[in-house]
Amino acid sequence: RARSTVLGVKPASSGDKGVVHVRTILENDKGAVLCVFERKALSRAGKLGDRPAWAAASGEGTPDVKGFPSVPKALRDSGKGGFGPYAGDFEVGQVFTHAIGKTVGESEHMQLTALVRNSHPLHFDEVYCKESSFTKQRVVYGGLVLSWVATLASRDLAGRALWEAGLDAGAHPNGVVGGDTLYAASKVVAIDGDKVTFRLVGVKNRTSASAYAEHGDALFADELSKKDGKLKEKVVEITRTLYVRRRK
C-alpha cells in the first residue's frame, strides 16, 4: 500500500496552477517500508470551499472539485494508495471514460514495430505505402494500438490488479497513423469474486467521454458485426479480464 503526504505547495503567479511537492511511502502488508520517493507535480488550481483543490492530495479525501473532470465514485473512493478501485468497488454496467489520451509519434511507432520484429512495410515504408497500399501512408501496428489503449485504461482501473486473466473477442476495426491521439473507455460486463471483466474500447482523435456521450452503449457494441452505424473513430474493441485485489 502507499501513503502520500503533501510537503509543500507553490502556486504560480497566474493563479490557475501550482506545483505540489509530495512524498510517497510504499509499504508491504506488515508495515515494512519498501520504497520512499518524492515528486513535484504541476496541478491545475480550483476551489473546494476555501481550500485549494490540491489539498485533497494530503490524504483528506478526494471529493469532486469544480474544474476537474468528474469521475465515477469508485475512482474517487480508491483506498489509501489512490491506485484505483478494489474488486468490490466495481458494479456491472459501470462505464469509465478515461480522461488521459496518448498521441502516437511517427518515429515512435516505427521503432517499436521494428523492436517486436513486425517486418511488414505497411508500418514503416512510406514508398511501399504510396505505391502498393490502400492506406497511402504508414499505419500503426495494431498490437501497439491495443497496448496503448489498455495502458490508458489501466491508469484508472488496474492499480489494484494482481494480473491479467485474459484478452478475448478483440478486433482492430479502424487504422491509426502517426499524429492520431488515442483515448480509452471501459465497461464492466461481469464480476466473479475478485475477477472483473471489462469491455475495453479505444477511439481516436476525440475523447472517450465525448464518444460515449454521442453513442452511448453502442460504443461498446461489437463493431465488426454491425451492418449499419459503424463508428469510424473506434480503433480497438476487446474483452479484458483482471484479477483485482479485494479490500481488507
**Rounded mean pLDDT of the chain?**
83
Q: What percent of the chain has pLDDT over 70?
A: 85
Residue 40 has pLDDT above 60, yes or no: yes
Tell me which of 20-24, 41-45, 69-73, 116-120 is least confident.
69-73
In 3D space, the residue among 163, 228, 172 whose CA is nearest the CA of residue 204 turns out to be 172
Helix, strand, coil percentages for the chain (3-state, nearest 5):
25, 35, 40
- What nine digits make up the cell of 202? 479505444
Residue 176 has pLDDT above 50, yes or no: yes
Residue 43 CA to residue 41 CA, distance in Å, equals: 6
pLDDT at 16: 76
Return the higher-pLDDT residue of 58 and 171. Answer: 171
pLDDT at 46: 61
Mean pLDDT of 142-157: 95
pLDDT at 17: 80
Report pTM: 0.70
Q: pLDDT tens across 55-68, in order? A: 444 443 333 333 33
What is the rounded end-to-end Cα distance, in angstroms, of the chain? 12
Greatest Cα pair distance in the chain: 62
For residue 190, count other CB atoms closer than 10 A to its CB: 13
Residue 82 has pLDDT above 80, yes or no: no
